[in-house]
Structure 1
Amino acid sequence: MTITQLQYVLAVAEYQNFTLAAEKCFVTQPTLSMQVQKLEDELDILIFDRSKKPISITEAGRKIVSQAKNIVNEAERIRDIVDQEKGFIGGEYSLGIIPTIMPTLLPMFLKTFINKYPKVNLIVKEQSTESLIRNIQDGHLDGGIAATPLEIEFIRERPLYYEPFVGYVPPQHRLRDQKFLKPEELDISDILLLQDGHCFRDGVVNLCKSRGDYRDEHFQLHSGSFETLINLSDEGLGMTLLPYLNTLVLDDRKKGNLMHFQSPPPAREVSLIYHKNELKIQITEAIKDVISAVVRGAITFQDVQIISPINK
């Protein structure tokens, strides 16, 4: 029994197809099939039922797959221990970032990170929070950046910064004459929202629910990007709420439509999340340190009110 054989078993269990599993493991299909067969012969038990399409896992195979995940993870931990002892920060690291954070945060820290840690092959993927969680659990991502708290048992959350909500209010809007926005004055019926699946949208909904008169039928316009929401707002179709970092890249004309909340402003907690097994923790810590340093100068708010990203 070898670690490589167990890795092949995990790939077949995930993709339920020997050809696809071989592609993902960067080996030929005959090589992968032969190694899985050798392991089954050694154990004298079938892990996979090949008579079904897609391939299914036998009852005994499920127990073996579960244990194989633990063994492969522990083997990876040995490499981590050696790297940490040597002070080495390098290798491949897959990082997922949710869509409402990636466009503003990635340009802020990526160049600094790759210059400081040239031996890290950072693979960045834009994914929804749901996909981040699933891929961290399955081992397809080493870490992620998302709005928290998520309160998931197998995930650790390391807060990076707290990003206030900012109103984008066109001149003709009823709240434009106010000096500051107040959560109790918001009306969900004239707030342009991101489409379902975005945690920032859920945060705005939760903020408006605090008024006590929230109703689903008020939702009329959903969009997939903040730029679209801003353009719709400029057309007089309502106001919208933006994460603070998104407001820094607006032109001067659009910045004239920004309104801040009274203190403490509602805000989202943005965290670096990763599996509790803490594999590749030295790279995770390096990412956290770089992001915390570059954002510290951009967001100077002291007191904020954290709004949950979970739709309640």
Structure 2
Amino acid sequence: MTITQLHYVLAVAEHKNFTKAAQKVFVTQPTLSMQIQKLEEELEVTIFDRTKKPIQLTEVGQKIVQQARNIVNESDRIQDIVDQQKGFIGGIFRLGVIPTVMPTLLPMFIKNFINKYPKVKLKIEELHTEAILEKLKEGHLDAAIAATPLELEGIKENVLYYEPFVGYIPEGHSLHKSDKLDVTELDINDMLLLEDGHCFKDGVINLCKASRDYEEEQLQLESGSFETLIKLTNEGLGMTLLPYLHTLDMKEKDKKNLKMFKDPVPAREVSLIYNRSELKMQIIEALRSTIAGVVKGAITFQNVKIISPLNNKKELKLN
């Protein structure tokens, strides 16, 4: 059994196709097939059911793939140990970022990071939390930036910052004249929300501590972008909540519609998340310190209450 064979097994398990898997690992399809067959003969089991389209893992194959991921990750640690010993910060680093963080946070730190660590080749994907967790599990991401706490076994969370929720309320709305918002004043049925899959939407629902009554609504609308929500709010279709960093570059006429909350300010926790195997920790730490450095000047709130994206509506007060 070789680590190369295990790489081939993982590739076929991912793509469910020998030809695509061979392309992924840069070998010919016959070479990949032969090596997997040799492994199956050595173990005296069948890892893949080739009679099904697409190819499926057998019951024992599923267990082998799970262990193969652990072995491949641990083998990668050898190079990781050498890099850390040498103080080398470089190589390919695959980072996932949730959509409600990507457009605001990325421009704040990416240029600084690239200039400071020119040997790191960043590959960044915008993904919803569910897809991020799946890719972290499968080893297709080294780390991600997501809303936490997620409280998942095998995943570590390194908090970057706490980002307040901000109300966006147009003139004519009953809450527009309020100096500061009170959470108890919020009506989820008056709220324009992001579409399903966005953890920011889950946070808003948890903040309001209510379920939505869709049967009573004349207009049911959920959008994938804050810009759309802002435009619809300006048309008098309700109010919405925004993450604080999204409000910094808004037009002055729109900033007049922003309302902060009373203390403790409801906020989301944004963290770097990664596998407990802690591969490429030198790059993860470089990212953390770079992001913390630029965000510290932008978010200075002290008394906040963390609103969890989890369904259990967990809250955490920080003073």
CA deviations on 1:162-199 (whole Å, 9 max, x unpaired) are: 00011111111101111111101111121111111111
What is the root-mean-square deviation in Å for CA atoms of aligned residues?
A: 1.5
Of 53-62 and 253-262, the range deviating more from structure 2: 53-62
SS in structure 1 of the partner of residue 192 of structure 2: strand
Deviation at 1:35, TM superposition (A): 1.9
CA distance in 2, matches of 1:243, 1:52: 46
Structure-2 separation of matches of 1:250 and 1:63: 51
1:265-280 to 2 correspondences below 5 Å = 265-280=265-280
Matched, 1:310 2:307: no
Change (3 A) 1:169 1:77: same
Q: Which residue of 1 aligns with 2:133?
A: 133
Q: Deviations over 1:129-171 (max 9, x none)?
A: 0001111011111111111001111110110000001111111
Please show how residues 1-312 of structure 1 align to structure 2 within 5 Å. 1-209=1-209, 214-217=211-214, 220-312=220-312
Per-residue CA deviation, residues 227-253 of structure 1 (Å, 9 max, x unaligned), is: 001000111111111100000010111
| Structure 2 Cα separation of the partners of residues 66 and 167 of structure 1 | 45
How far residue 66 of structure 1 moved from its aligned partner, in angstroms, is: 2.8
Once residues 76 and 68 of structure 2 are traced to their aligned partners in structure 1, the CA distance between those partners, rounded to angstroms, is 12
Whole-Å separation in 1 of the counterparts to 2:27 and 2:129: 31
Provide Cα deviations, 1:97-117, integer angstroms capped at 9, x if missing partner: 000010000000110111111
Q: Is the 8 A contact 1:170 1:233 kept in 2?
A: yes
3-state SS of 1:26 partner: coil
Write out the 4+ residue segments of structure 1 that deviate beyond 6 Å after TM superposition.
none
C-alpha separation between the residues in 1 aligned to 2:142 and 2:160?
17
Task: Give me the whole-angstrom Cα distance separating, in 2, the residues matched to 1:206 and 1:103.
Answer: 24
**CA shift for structure 1 position 269:** 0.3
Distance verdict in 2 for CA 1:190–1:121, change over 3 Å: same
Residue identity matched to 1:31: T
Distance 1:189 1:52, change over 3 A: closer
1:47 Cα deviation after fit: 2.5
Gaps of 5+ in 2: 313-319
Q: Is the 8 A contact 1:205 1:311 kept in 2?
A: no
Work out the CA distance in 2 between the residues paired with 1:190 and 1:60: 51
Whole-Å Cα distance in 2 between the matches of residues 80 and 68 of structure 1? 18
Distance 2:222 2:67 in 1: 44
Give the alignment's TM-score, normalised by structure 2.
Answer: 0.93
Q: Is the 8 A contact 2:69 2:138 kept in 1?
A: no
Query: How many Å separate the matches in 1 of 2:180 and 2:257?
Result: 12
Deviates more, 1:295-304 or 1:56-65: 56-65
8 Å contact 1:145–1:273 — kept in the other structure?
Answer: yes
**Amino acid across the alignment from 2:266:** P
Supply the distance in 2 between the matched residues of 1:215 and 1:109 (Cα, whole angstroms).
37
**Contact 2:143–2:272 (Cα < 8 Å) also in 1:** yes
CA distance in 2, matches of 1:168, 1:51: 56
**Secondary structure in structure 2 of the residue aligned to 1:88:** coil
Give the count of matched residue pairs. Answer: 309
Q: When the two structures are superposed, what TM-score results if normalisation uses the length of structure 1?
A: 0.95
User: What is the identity percentage for the equivalent residue pairs of Structure 1 and Structure 2?
Assistant: 66
Structure 2 distance, partners of 1:242, 1:51, is 50
Residue 54 of structure 1 deviates from its aligned partner by 2.4
